[in-house]
Structure 1
Amino acid sequence: MNIDLKEFDGVVAVGGDGIYNEVVSGLTVRELRDHDQDPDNPESKLSQLKLPIGIIPAGSGNYTAWYLNGTKCPVTAALRIVMGRCVSTNIASLHQGNKCSGYSGLILGFGLFGDVMRDCEKYRWMGTSRFKVIPVGSVLNRRPVNVSISYIPTENKRIQCQEDITIQKPDFLRLTSVPVTNTKSARDGYKKRTVSFSDFLDTPSEWKTAEDRVVYAVDTYPITMKPDGTRMAPNFGGDSLELLITGKCKLADHFRQLKAVDDGMSSCYDFEFVKKIQVQRYRVRVLRNKTEDFYLNCDGEVIRLEHPEFDVRLHKNAVQLYGKPNR
């Protein structure tokens, strides 16, 4: 924690989404403390991290690298890092009680997706195949949760310091390498970039309450997915978190919706029992039996709910990732 970060140009993580999460979490805590902000205070203001992060995919999922480069090829990822170009991306903070439980750069799921990851952790000996088998049983044993959900909606558009970038998925699935441009000019272009602190402030608004009381899942994705024709495509640095609330529904309908999500269909959230709300922040209070445990899926890591309420907040463009998705 005492190393001078000015001595470094960036950080490269070799691994999957969990390793990326650990790097983001460590740098975020350091950034907050350097500015005399308390990581355990959900009201703390986070500036953009000083060091950009590169990801060389070597894990089980590698979704962040895939979304960023359009491929899970480690050679492509390494070349993108050498080029030095960066794209802004959002993260979300997770607080329980008066303590920070973590930061998410990919997915933060409560309810079903939390149970899925908890169940998968029991079968790590199965390797990556557990992610294809275990979730089916988790869905069959899905459990409704009584909750109260409040949120701060995104009502006013704000000027972004960098326009949103969307990957054109069909062009990138076949990508295995990229041309190398002038590295020095690319790095210089990054270092000269300035960011207004206002980019990280919440849109002024009042807390509202969601109507749903019994849900199967409450999820959000810091890298939002947007329709691109018939498919969904990742979108970096959006103005909002998309709060997804899965309400009561028949099991067969739920399976169809989850299959559409897995297939990346643009209509995957167009179901009556799925509510989408653009938010800056939200809170979930569980109205539960004290003997029952609940879990959150934070970028593939399981976090046990230690308090009846948790708080999630958007930190816009807080991270710079080495890479440049094509339009």
Structure 2
Amino acid sequence: MNFNVQISGASTEIQIGESGIVYFAGKEEHKRAYEDIISLEKLSGDGKTCRLHYIQDHPFPNHKLTKEYLDITSEDNVLRDFQETLSKKISAVTKRPRKLSVFVNPIGGKGKGKQICDKEVVPVLQLAGIQTDVVVSQRAYHFKEITENYDFNSVDGLIIMGGDGTYSEIINVLMRKRQHEAGVDFNSSSSLLKTMDFPIGVIPTGSACGLARLAHGVIDVMTSVLHIIRGRTDHYNIVGGFNNNKLIGYGIICFGYVMYADLMYDTDVNYRWMKTFRYIYVPFMHVFIKPFREVEVEITYEYLENKESGDTTEEEKANLQGVTDDLDFEDRPYDKQPAKKDQFIMLDYTVCGRWAMAKHFANLYQLTEEHLDSVKHFVNFNRIKSVRLRATENNDPSQREMNLRFNLDGESHQLETPDVYIKLFPRCLTLYTSYKGSRRWR
């Protein structure tokens, strides 16, 4: 089926194909997949001009998606038939959601979550024909209560606007609900978790948005919105943290013991009065002022390959930080991606100079093989399936309470005993994304 129209004053045909439309603008042929067509919007009162809004990909290494448009002129009945045909194709061919709940953290990041939702997110979703139910949190941990009671059967998916802390709070509740409904004992680390098929879209409006970067290749609000409109999904890993045969929580980005746990505890508790300045002061204090605290830990790694599974080593002193995915060390084109493996990254630190540690943390969000090679004298790097950390009896008794600190996605937890087991649960989280590139933090 073809439609005779004018584009930029020149007559042309728009061809309706199985997977998209084809048209000429000047001498250049353009193809637009139906998932990339946002909408056809009427502009003039006489019905003779419409604006085709569409999603534009950009060449590697630019991972952003942008919203573009094309003005089309024709007779009223031609544009009306074109719009009707286009709408039917989009509904039939794509997996675009019809209605989404939008959970907004209004104070995360620069405190503009609600403003971005109202001015940038909801208008584009509505333009794509997607209904929204916007819910704004009113206090700390409010989303835990909201998520436990919200009727998700009334929507096709959920959008979370905030940062990693907000994502983690909501996803933890949803994962527990999914396992409870399936009769899975989530407190048992040996249980096989059920995948949470309910799709989630993450839009980066918080201070740290590592999950949005992993899922979309870039931290950009409009890119995230356009991935959601496309309607495609992919599965992502989570880790479970366990202590005394009970689930501590699920991690979507990172976890830490000793230095990272101490740093985040000071940020959340001891220096909260500093407000946003604490995010600068506390890391500086831990790297340049406070003595490095070390704990003797027995570590048991379970490897996916190359090393003996269950290899146990005694560490005289240790600081540990983990990342919940098999991160890539370099940004590669989509067609040159290595296969993702069911493993996650673990970094084990020993004492080093303060400047060396500061430089390492500055490079932590852009890990490369060259950097890890340059810090191998104080950073032990592993790709693993699980790890058990147990503080030995040889540690300073006065630091026992500190040795019970454990951090998961920036949330501080107090262990019952200084023994924690972290296990990977592959592909349990379903996210809205069409991104197929390298998975990196930043």
Shared fold per TM-score greater than 0.5:
yes
Distance in 2 between the 1:291 and 1:211 partners? 22
1:154 is the counterpart of 2:304? yes
Residue aligned with 1:306, SS: coil
1:283 paired residue number: 388
Give the C-alpha shift of residue 267 in structure 1: 2.9
Give the C-alpha shift of residue 23 in structure 1: 2.0
Give the C-alpha shift of residue 100 in structure 1: 0.9
Distance in 2 between the 1:131 and 1:236 partners? 36
Distance in 2 between the 1:20 and 1:253 partners? 32
Aligned-residue CA RMSD in angstroms? Answer: 2.8
The answer (yes or no) to whether the contact 2:230–2:434 under 8 Å persists in 1 is no
**Of the candidates 38, 42, 49, which is equivalent to residue 196 of structure 2?**
49
1:9 is the counterpart of 2:156? yes
Matches for 1:1-327 after TM superposition, within 5 Å: 7-121=154-268, 122-140=270-288, 141=290, 142-155=292-305, 206-215=309-318, 217-228=319-330, 238-262=341-365, 264-270=367-373, 271-287=376-392, 288-292=395-399, 293-294=402-403, 295-327=405-437
The answer (yes or no) to whether the contact 1:90–1:223 under 8 Å persists in 2 is yes
The answer (yes or no) to whether the contact 1:96–1:310 under 8 Å persists in 2 is yes
1:185 paired residue number: none
Larger Rg: 2
Give the C-alpha shift of residue 213 in structure 1: 2.7
How many residues are treated as equivalent by the alignment? 276
1:166 paired residue number: none
Distance in 2 between the 1:155 and 1:299 partners? 26
Distance in 2 between the 1:229 and 1:272 partners? 26
Distance in 2 between the 1:219 and 1:16 partners? 20
- Aligned CA distance change for structure 1 residues 118 and 100 (closer, same or farther; 3 Å): same
Distance in 2 between the 1:286 and 1:25 partners? 27
Give the C-alpha shift of residue 68 in structure 1: 2.3
- Aligned CA distance change for structure 1 residues 289 and 78 (closer, same or farther; 3 Å): same
Residue aligned with 1:89, SS: strand
The answer (yes or no) to whether the contact 1:90–1:236 under 8 Å persists in 2 is no
Q: Which runs of 5+ in 2 are unaligned?
A: 1-147, 438-442
Residue aligned with 2:428, SS: strand
1:45-82 Cα offsets, whole Å, 9 max, x none, are: 11211211111222221222133223333232222212
Whichever residue aligns with residue 425 of structure 2, its letter is H
1:75-127 Cα offsets, whole Å, 9 max, x none, are: 32222212211222100000111211111000111111111111111333444
The answer (yes or no) to whether the contact 1:111–1:145 under 8 Å persists in 2 is yes
Give the C-alpha shift of residue 314 in structure 1: 0.2
Whichever residue aligns with residue 78 of structure 1, its letter is V
Whichever residue aligns with residue 275 of structure 1, its letter is N
Distance in 2 between the 1:229 and 1:52 partners? 26
Residue aligned with 2:328, SS: strand
- Aligned CA distance change for structure 1 residues 124 and 4 (closer, same or farther; 3 Å): closer
TM-score of the aligned structures, taking structure 2 as reference length = 0.57
Distance in 1 between the 2:322 and 2:294 partners? 18
Distance in 2 between the 1:324 and 1:236 partners? 17
Distance in 1 between the 2:151 and 2:196 partners? 14
Give the C-alpha shift of residue 225 in structure 1: 2.7
- Aligned CA distance change for structure 1 residues 264 and 151 (closer, same or farther; 3 Å): closer
Q: What percentage of residue pairs aligned between the two structures are identical?
A: 26
Whichever residue aligns with residue 225 of structure 1, its letter is L
1:194 paired residue number: none
TM-score of the aligned structures, taking structure 1 as reference length = 0.75
- Aligned CA distance change for structure 1 residues 56 and 269 (closer, same or farther; 3 Å): same
Distance in 2 between the 1:280 and 1:125 partners? 38
Distance in 1 between the 2:339 and 2:242 partners? 23
1:262-291 Cα offsets, whole Å, 9 max, x none, are: 565543322222112221111000123444
Q: Which runs of 5+ in 1 are unaligned?
A: 157-202
Moved more, 39-48 or 2-11: 2-11
The answer (yes or no) to whether the contact 1:88–1:236 under 8 Å persists in 2 is no
- Aligned CA distance change for structure 1 residues 237 and 86 (closer, same or farther; 3 Å): farther
Higher relative contact order (CA 8 A, sep 6+): 1
